[in-house]
Structure 1
Amino acid sequence: MARDIQLQRNPAIRYALLAIGWLSVALGVIGIFLPVLPTTPFLLLAAACFMRSSKRFYLWLVNHRQLGPWIVDYLEGQGIPLKGKVYAISLMWLSIGVSCYVVPLFWARAFMLTSAVLVSLYIIRQKTLTKR
């Protein structure tokens, strides 16, 4: 699982990536307990940030007993479980629907709906992980 880790040379960018990575880990862990907050996208973002900023934190995340399984299958190209796809798309559309109801601006609604359609298509097109 030691992918090609390309560390960022610029220290400012490296520290920014570390901060975003740890914020994403925190949000991902909170997402395990809050159904409105998605876990996997935040952990994938954290893995991407750590891959560019810290080999140690990247390996810690992907080898973590509880957090690693959320992302390892995706990172290895195995796919996303069907349950995860349904869960992610359903919660996204629920939150986008509520947001569109609350936000009266047409351009904001158009942006949210366009984003939801594109993200849904991306998730649907990803390989579906089969049970082992």
Structure 2
Amino acid sequence: MTQSIAPSNQTKPLSRLAKILYGLVGGLALAMGIIGIFLPGLPTTPFVLLAAACFAKASPRVHLWMLQHKLIGPMLRNWEEHRSLTRRTKCVAIGSMSLMIAISIWSFSGQPWIQLSLLILGGIGAATVLRIPTRPPSATSSSSSVGKP
């Protein structure tokens, strides 16, 4: 007897608990992203992208609000359209992470285990950014009107 397998593009609706959990994680990620705007060393973009992904599953209304927001909307629309980063964005991300890691390592002088931990975490962060596909220079964002009425 053969089993019927549902096509991969069909997904089961999320349970109420799953929507609540996605909403909580999305809210926490958005809060961390907002804090990251004002706190040097705390990234903003990854938290905003995580929040958008969570709200896309938990609350389409909040996801649409994020897409239409004047500050974070263009970044989200650009990510959703291309699923890649520009070379400039990668350089800025890795450069700012490197600077903050270097300052942190310097501030923990005399504590080699903390310094080594910071160096390893910085390497993981850089590797994560480098794994994201790099967008060719010709691919510009044409999604400036996506999600707007």
Q: Under a length normalisation based on structure 2, what TM-score does the superposition of the two structures give?
A: 0.65
How many matched pairs? Answer: 127
| C-alpha RMSD over aligned residues | 3.0
1:96 equivalent in alignment to 2:96: no
Of 87, 108, 118, 1:112 maps to 118
Q: Return closer, same or farther for 1:25/1:7 CA change in 2, 3 Å cut-off.
A: farther
The answer for the alignment partner of 1:56 in structure 2 is: 61
| 8 Å Cα contact 2:82/2:135 also seen in 1 | no
Larger Rg: 2
1:35-46 matches, cutoff 5 A: 35-46=40-51
Greater share of residues in helix: 1
> Where does the alignment leave 5 or more consecutive residues of structure 1 unmatched?
none
2:90 to 85, 88, 91: 85
Cα distance 1:16–1:86, how it changes in 2: closer, same or farther (>3 A)? same
- Using the TM superposition, give the Cα deviation of residue 21 of structure 1 relative to its aligned residue in structure 2, in angstroms: 1.5
TM-score between the two structures when normalised by the length of structure 1: 0.71
